[in-house]
Amino acid sequence: MSNLIDDDPRIIEFDVRTDEMLVNMGPQHPSTHGVLRLVLRTDGEIVSETEPHIGYLHRCAEKIGENVSPRQWIPYTDRLDYLAAMNMNLGWALTVEKLMRHGVGEKARHLRVLIAELNRIASHLVGMGAYGLDLGTFSPFLYAFREREKILDLFEEACGARLTYSYITVGGATADLPPGWLQKCEAFLDQFEPIIKEYHALLTTNAIFVKRTAGVGVLSREMAIDYGCSGPVLRGSGVDQDMRRDGESLYTGMYDGYAFEVAVQKDGRYPRDHTYPSVPKEAVLGDCWHRFFVRMLEVVQSMDLVRQSIDRYAACREPLGEPLKLAEKLPVGDAYLETEAPKGQMGFYIVGNGTSIPWRVRARSSSFSNLSVTHELCRGCLIADVPAIVGSLDIVMGEIDR
């Protein structure tokens, strides 16, 4: 005791500082989007360090790919980004087609655009709804899922599955669209279009939503590029890049003749600035609000693309064509292709050795790179900001852990 009294009071004061606390957020946590585990170092409400731990959903998908033929691996690609399984199918199918130098017909091309963009809408709806959930509002989540259900109904009619479709496959698609499907799809788009305004009213322009997201988790343009971010995360930071426009010709050829504008802020303006809510004053380019808004714009962009592809698909008179055989021999060589999945650039790598089983299969996941910025963004934020930041990255654990 006497020591304490004799000591310099400043030392005692220094000694009774509040302790830092290590908190595990996840893998069982309502807002870590699956089984992500974040280890937070907190001082009260302030997070000084965030460390993501992954691997809870690892299923050796890539290794399995080296033991089955490419078409047999299609169902495994469904389970990478299970919210955008069509886009995963498409990425893998295109990569294998690139290796085999196999092209698809016009009808299959437009069908793929149609399906992939429809799935992009569905994926962004989940991202949007779940983001509302992360910020503590439950209803937009269900409004988003209500519309997503209708897209899933359409998919179910086309391929029989609601989540893991295995529809787009090497050499085309497993089946043509059933009769009357296009009308239903158009009816859905007409019905869905005005609902986007409701989402904007509930979230994008909501004062509390803006307070929670604007200026939070600012990802600078340089940092986004350094960490290899892609998709809406990259575009939310103002980088004008979209693989549908800037990718390899094999992929961009799919979008030949389609008119779309990349959803990115240029000169302080977004495309469609006049029809959609203006950027709030508090928002900084690269913050959570911008990432969210880019996704909302991409929903509209995808709707446009779906409408265009419906017309083109309907104009094609030839049959869809058969996909490749299940055990088609692969040539010797390798191929890598990146496509623009809803979450970002999804790359697939395949090495063929003359048999029907690939020698190497690898996937480059956009969510993995996007997640890697969390520790930068979460430094010094509040605990409540952690779900807001992680949610705005819109990650899917199936894709990260593969």
Partner 1 sequence: MADFLIGLGLPGWLAWSIAALVAAVLLHNVIAGGALVFIWAERKIAARIQDRLGPTRTGGRFGWLQSLADGIKLLAKEDLMPEGADGLLFRLAPYVSFCASFCAFIALPFAFDVVGQRLNVGVFFVVAVLGLEVFGVILAGYASASKWSLFGAMREAAQVVSYEVPLGMCVVVPVMLAGTMDLVTIAEKQSGWMSNWYLFHDPFTFVIFWVYVTCAVASVNRAPFDLAEAESELVAGFHTEYSGLRWSFFFMAEYGSMFLVSALAAVLFLGGWNGPVPVAQLVGLSEGTGDSAAYFVRLLGLANLIGKATFGVLLMMWVRWTLPRLRIDQVMTTCLKYCTPIAAVMFAGAMFWQLFLPGGLLPGWSRPAGEIREGWLEGPGGLPATSAPAVRSAGVAAAEPSDSSGLATRSPR
Summarize as ranges the residues that interact with partner 1 (CB under 8 A). 21, 23, 29-31, 44-45, 132-139, 142-143, 146, 202-203, 206, 208-209, 211-212, 382-387
User: Quick one: 76 or 141, whose CB is closer to partner 1?
Assistant: 141
User: Quick one: 351 or 382, whose CB is closer to partner 1?
Assistant: 382
CA dihedral over 70, 152, 389, 339, signed as positive or negative: positive
Q: Which strand (E) or helix (H) includes residue 388?
A: helix 385-393
8 Å CB contact between 97 and 174: no
The nearest distance, CB 383 to partner 1, in angstroms, is 6
Q: At which residue do the structure tokens 């033991």 appear?
A: 67
The nearest distance, CB 204 to partner 1, in angstroms, is 12
| Number of Cβ within a 10 Å radius of residue 217 | 25
The nearest distance, CB 388 to partner 1, in angstroms, is 8
User: Quick one: 39 or 250, whose CB is closer to partner 1?
Assistant: 39
User: Quick one: 47 or 330, whose CB is closer to partner 1?
Assistant: 47
Cα gap 266→228, rounded to integer Å:
20
8 Å CB contact between 374 and 50: yes
Q: Are strands 46-53 and 344-352 parallel, antiparallel or unpaired?
A: unpaired
The nearest distance, CB 295 to partner 1, in angstroms, is 17
The nearest distance, CB 43 to partner 1, in angstroms, is 12
User: Quick one: 112 or 290, whose CB is closer to partner 1?
Assistant: 290
Cα gap 260→168, rounded to integer Å:
22
The nearest distance, CB 17 to partner 1, in angstroms, is 16
Cα gap 377→217, rounded to integer Å:
5
User: Quick one: 31 or 174, whose CB is closer to partner 1?
Assistant: 31
Radius of gyration of the chain (CA): 23
Residue 347 three-state SS = strand
